[in-house]
Amino acid sequence: MIPKKETIAALSKKLSLPYTGTEQDWDIEMADSNRINEFIDFYHQYGLAFEERGALMSLIIASYDDFLNENNIEVDFRWDIIKAMLAKDRIQFLELINYWSQSNEADIFMITPLMRTV
């Protein structure tokens, strides 16, 4: 699911992201490994619309992948939280899960092996 530009703009404003409207891959470009906890809290604390939840989950996953890359680790305690969020709304996030799981043998992203467990 590719979120609408209006959804991305609104979510970017709510999260004070440096969104310009010219981003090609919003979730990748706005990912911030230092804000994962904040993004997770925001997801749980606010009544987000369906599309906003999907966009925010994309941002959380991209941010967590950045965190894994930056720290050269395979997992930390937040994975259990993220995995539970994905599993709870698995149908909504199926496309996102499939993308980050990459169905071929190579682990394209650091988060790929984790996403395959969802």
What pTM was estimated for this model as a whole? 0.93
Reading the chain (118 residues) residue by residue, the pLDDT tens digits are 678 889 999 999 999 999 998 888 999 999 999 999 999 999 998 788 889 999 999 999 999 999 999 998 888 999 999 999 999 999 999 999 999 998 676 768 999 999 999 9
C-alpha 80, offset from chain centre:
14
Domains of the chain, residue spans: 5-115
Whose structure tokens read 């799981």?
101
Phi-psi region of 82 (alpha: psi -120 to 50; beta: other; left: phi over 0): alpha
Give the C-alpha separation, 108 to 87, whole Å: 21
Task: Please enumerate in sequence order all residues whose Cβ is within 8 A of that of 36, keeping only pairs 6 or more positions apart, or say none.
Answer: 60, 63, 64, 67, 78
- How far is the C-alpha of 116 from the C-alpha of 118, rounded, in Å? 6
